Amino acid sequence: MLTLLCDFASAMKTVGYVLLAFVVLMVMVLIHETGHYTAGKLLGFQINEFSVGMGPKIFSKKKKNGEVFSLRMLPLGGYCAFEGEGDDNANPKAFNSQKPWKRLIVLFSGAFFNFVSAILVAIVCFAAYGETVAKVNTVYDYAPTVNRQLRQNDIIYKINGKRVYMLDNLSRYMSDEMDIVVLRPREENGAVVYEEVTVEGVQQRTFFTSVLTKVEADYVENGRKLQVGDTVYRLDGEYPDAKGELAELLSRAGDTVLLTVTDGSDYYTYTVQSKDFFGAITAEEQPYTGIGMSVSYVKHNFGFGEVLLRVVPYCCEVGMLVLRTLGGLLTGSVGLEAVGGPITTISMTSEIVATGFANVLLLIVLISVNLAVFNLLPVPALDGCQMVFVIIEWIAGKPINRKVQGYINGIGLVVLIALMLLIDILKL
């Protein structure tokens, strides 16, 4: 009976997280539509209905000016319906009767509100919970001399003069030789303060590490057994960091060698028989390009002034990441696992909701920027496509046939929904 109650409680908790995920997504859609509504009201457009959700109405209220506010059954979006959106209308307040620049502002405002909301939520998130940064864990002894000026607990702040906002900036900003600015902690009057330290001439190159792939010999030191997955760090005091260097060192070694390995956090030294290598013990060389250090990702609290300076570039970097991902999908350099449809989004959101409020705020930032960027793409059924139609009309002096626009948007909507669902199905 107790097991059944626990299972039921767990199931209800999961349902609660899913419902909360729907609420999070609906709020972001509501913000988007509020952008369209606000711009429309300010510019004198006639708005027929503002709806939260889709499908049959659950609740609606009509204002004196004729605007209807509706709550609909399916929490899968919403819309702001303007008079004369899909046809030419004699009403001077109808959407297509308004000047092109006004329509462009209304169409752009949905994405703009999403982006502004992302900035505001990012301020709260970073000020209250800190920002994820790359902290130096270990600078390996085989790193070039200049690189060893980096120290454990340094925070990577700038690379070649560019601030690091997102973790993918680390790889994108790196060059063969670079200047790195770190925030270095020190104690001052019993408190930890950070100072900017510049390390010039940091070198990036390709290192070769050897990872143990088979360990059939029984070597134990201090209660810890040599095991598959250990990375060779030293062999008789030397660092095999070049291609073929491990084999070369073994060829010159005596009957036994001192083998130091790491599991990524700690180091262990074993006295190993040389003859066991390439027999009972095998290692696979794995190249990586870097500067000879390992990093971990931690939360760091910048001052509020710094937070205000960082949030806009951070959100812009998120937007650029979205565009790079979409470009990668088109070129084939990014797989479908990098994107998801509505099912994946709800699933991911409910999982993150369960991890705490800080991650919920960060997720809102990421999805809000995603919505802003995605809606501005010139894809049928999206705001970006509508903006293209308006720009063509503005330049040509007359609109593309409204029925043709309707067909393009209708077909585009069906294809878009089918594509999103297909992506979800393929990921199951």
pLDDT band at 4 (very low <50, low <70, confident <90, very high): very low
For the stretch 207-226, pLDDT in tens is 888 899 998 888 888 888 99
Within 10 Å of residue 98's Cβ, how many Cβ atoms?
Answer: 21
Amino acid at the residue 197: V
Main-chain dihedrals φ then ψ at residue 155, nearest 5 degrees = -105, 125
Are 208 and 287 in contact, with CB atoms under 8 Å apart? yes
Amino acid at the residue 167: L
- Report the pLDDT value the prediction gives residue 17, as an integer from 0 to 100: 47
For the stretch 47-104, pLDDT in tens is 999 888 778 888 888 888 888 888 888 776 778 889 888 788 888 898 988 999 999 9
The pTM for the full model equals 0.80
* Domain residue extents for the chain: 20-128+337-427, 206-289
For the stretch 262-304, pLDDT in tens is 887 788 999 988 888 888 888 899 998 888 888 888 889 999 9
Q: Which of 132, 124, 75, 119 is nearest to 366 (CA)?
A: 119
Q: Residues 343-368: what's their mean pLDDT?
A: 71
Find the helix packing angle between 383-396 and 100-129, rounded to 10°: 150
As assigned by CATH, the class of the 206-289 domain is: mainly beta
Q: Which residues contact 347 (CB under 8 A, 6 or more apart)?
A: none
